[in-house]
Amino acid sequence: MATSKEISIGDAGARASELEGDLQGETMMLNVGPSHPTTHGVLRLKMELDGDVVKRCEPVLGYLHRGDEKIAESMTYNQFIPYTDRLDYIAPLSNNVAYALAVEKLANLEVPERCQAIRLLCCELARISSHLLGVGVYGMDAGAWTVFMYTFTEREKLYTLFEELTGARFTTSYTRIGGVARDIPDGWLGRVLEFCKGVLPVLDQVDKLLTRNRIFMDRTVGIGMISKADALAYGLTGPNLRACGVDLDLRKDKPYLGYENYDFEVPIGTNGDCYDRYLMRAEEIRQSVGIIRQCIGKFPEGSYYTEDAKKIFAPQKAKVLTSMEELIQNFMIVTEGPQIPKGEVYFEAENPKGALGFFIHSKGGGVPYRMKIRGPSFCNLSILDKLIPGHFLTDITVILGSLDFVMGECDR
């Protein structure tokens, strides 16, 4: 009769350290990326392997460094909006909103309530879009292709909504300094609610496929554990930070866009491992659906731009072609840019990937003197050279997928 034997896998890190003295032969240098399906963009990992265990890992960035900050110094504030789209190119609307809020803070401009509600809707839809992709691609990295197909179909519905609102599927460039580009079309809010109704069953299906899946749990529970102290020290933000147990969500702690008027919960994790990070994102989609429903329920009337920002927001086209003052105003704003007063500002918004920050130093005029973009993925990735050593090579894909970074905002 066959007897059963219990095998304990134990802690990969502990085993790596106890094997240290027993190194037989040489370590192997392995290069993962920059062109690799699981590196989510162009990230390169220079790794030193002892058998299957990673001993050292050095991430190399900069393969997508396009010079955004230098470009910003020669573009007007409105001209820079398409560049902000391409920072976190998975949720471009939230980058647009974060940038517009930063510049408006510098100009001390408060946009009307309808504009704030539109921007909030955009941010939350972008959050759903980003987390759907995060969960989908994470499932694909761990081997679950079906999850990727389901979430991508839902994202296509979101793309249709964005296209109706802004004109582009993604890379929307929708906000302007002082408002948004156009008002929401008729019936759009109804279609958003229909989408919300449709995304929750898909999320339930993804839940059934992944959350209690034996293989998925074996691959993610206990892998890539980040401690609370480490997370704070390395500057992690967003779901990665909250998975470690730190209660920091800029929507609740430093509210903007009227987030304080909505009732939502912020999921906080316990272990800080890959499984927790997956659960964070799945739960945040549900919370975002709740926020969207509340927002649409009390959607304010009014204007979608600040009416009295004469030197900042371009006037209505009908007036431009008939009235002299508006013509001059439009000309000045288009050629010289929105006139933003002197000063320094740093504004962070809670983007789906983390806290996207803009530091703008303005010397007056329409062009910033210095703009620094604090990309959340840059800070999230800095923990890699401490996190990965001690794990197996096959855990790399799972860890990278769980951190959900995008190289556009990492390298800028």
Partner 1 sequence: MTTSDLALLKERFETLTERESSDHVAINCASSQLIELCTVLRDDFGYDMLVDVTAVDWDAQSPRFTGIYHFLSTTKHEYLRVAVDCTDDINPALPSLTGLYAAANWHERETYDLMGIRYQGHPDLTRILMWDAYPYHPLRKDFPLAGIEVPLPADDVAEITGMSVKPAPMVGGPFVSSADGPMSQTEPRARDESWNEKKIKPCGK
Partner 2 sequence: MQNTTIAYDSKVEGEVIVTQADAVINWIRKHSVWPMPMGLACCAIELMAAGGARFDISRFGMEVMRFSPRQADCMIVAGTVTYKMAEVVRRIYDQMAEPKWVVAMGACASTGGMYRSYATLQGVDQIIPVDVYISGCPPRPEALLDAMIKLQDKIGAEHSVKNLFPEKADSKDVAEVTNKS
Binding interface with partner 1 (CB under 8 A): 61-62, 65, 67, 69-71, 73-74, 105-106, 108, 230, 232-235, 237, 246, 248, 253-254, 343-348, 355, 357, 359, 361, 369-370, 372, 374, 378-379, 381-383, 386, 411
**Counting contacts by CB under 8 A, is residue 56 touching partner 2?**
no
Residue 41 interacts, among partner 2, partner 1, none and using kind-specific CB cut-offs from 5 to 8 Å, with partner 2
Residue 90 interacts, among partner 2, partner 1, none and using kind-specific CB cut-offs from 5 to 8 Å, with partner 2
What is the 3-state secondary structure of the chain? CCCCCCCCCCCHHHHHHHHHHHCCCCCEEEEECCCCHHHCCCCEEEEEEECCEEEEEEEECCCCCCCHHHHHCCCCCCCCHHHHHCCCCCCHHHHHHHHHHHHHHHCCCCCCHHHHHHHHHHHHHHHHHHHHHHHHHHHHHCCCHHHHHHHHHHHHHHHHHHHHHHCCCCCCCCEECCEECCCCCCCHHHHHHHHHHHHHHHHHHHHHHHCCCHHHHHHHCCCCCCCHHHHHHCCCCCHHHHHCCCCCCHHHHCCCCCHHHCCCCCCCCCCCCHHHHHHHHHHHHHHHHHHHHHHHHCCCCCCCECCCCCCCCCCCHHHHCCCHHHHHHHHHHHHHCCCCCCEEEEEEEEECCEEEEEEEEECCCCCCCEEEEECHHHHHHCCHHHHCCCCECCHHHHHHHHHCCCHHHHHC
Phi-psi bin for 358: left (phi > 0), alpha (psi -120 to 50), beta?
beta
Contacts of 313 (CB under 8 A, 6+ apart): 176, 177, 178, 179, 305, 306, 333, 338
Residue 357 interacts, among partner 1, partner 2, none and using kind-specific CB cut-offs from 5 to 8 Å, with partner 1
CB of residue 186 vs partner 1: minimum separation in angstroms? 37
Residue 382 interacts, among partner 2, partner 1, none and using kind-specific CB cut-offs from 5 to 8 Å, with partner 1
Judged by CB under 8 A, which of 16, 53, 57, 90 binds partner 2?
Answer: 90
CB of residue 69 vs partner 2: minimum separation in angstroms? 10
CB of residue 402 vs partner 2: minimum separation in angstroms? 19
Output 69 or 385, the one with its CB closest to partner 2. Answer: 69
Residue 156 interacts, among partner 1, partner 2, none and using kind-specific CB cut-offs from 5 to 8 Å, with partner 2
Output 40 or 119, the one with its CB closest to partner 2. Answer: 40
**Counting contacts by CB under 8 A, is residue 181 touching partner 2?**
no
CB of residue 6 vs partner 1: minimum separation in angstroms? 39
CB of residue 121 vs partner 1: minimum separation in angstroms? 25
Residue 159 interacts, among partner 1, partner 2, none and using kind-specific CB cut-offs from 5 to 8 Å, with partner 2
**Counting contacts by CB under 8 A, is residue 361 touching partner 2?**
no
**Counting contacts by CB under 8 A, is residue 86 touching partner 2?**
yes
Distance, in Å, from the CA atom of 65 to the CA atom of 179, rounded to the nearest integer, reads 29
Output 234 or 305, the one with its CB closest to partner 1. Answer: 234
Residue 246 interacts, among partner 1, partner 2, none and using kind-specific CB cut-offs from 5 to 8 Å, with partner 1
Distance, in Å, from the CA atom of 228 to the CA atom of 281, rounded to the nearest integer, reads 18
Map the footprint of partner 2 across residues 23-52, applying CB under 8 A: 34-37, 41-42
Q: Which of the stretches 51-59, 166-174, 260-268, 282-290 binds partner 2 when contact is defined by CB under 8 A?
A: 166-174
**Counting contacts by CB under 8 A, is residue 82 touching partner 2?**
yes
Output 127 or 242, the one with its CB closest to partner 2. Answer: 127
Q: List residues near partner 2 by CB under 8 A.
A: 34-37, 41-42, 62-67, 70-71, 82-83, 85-86, 89-90, 133, 149, 152-153, 155-156, 159, 169-171, 407-408
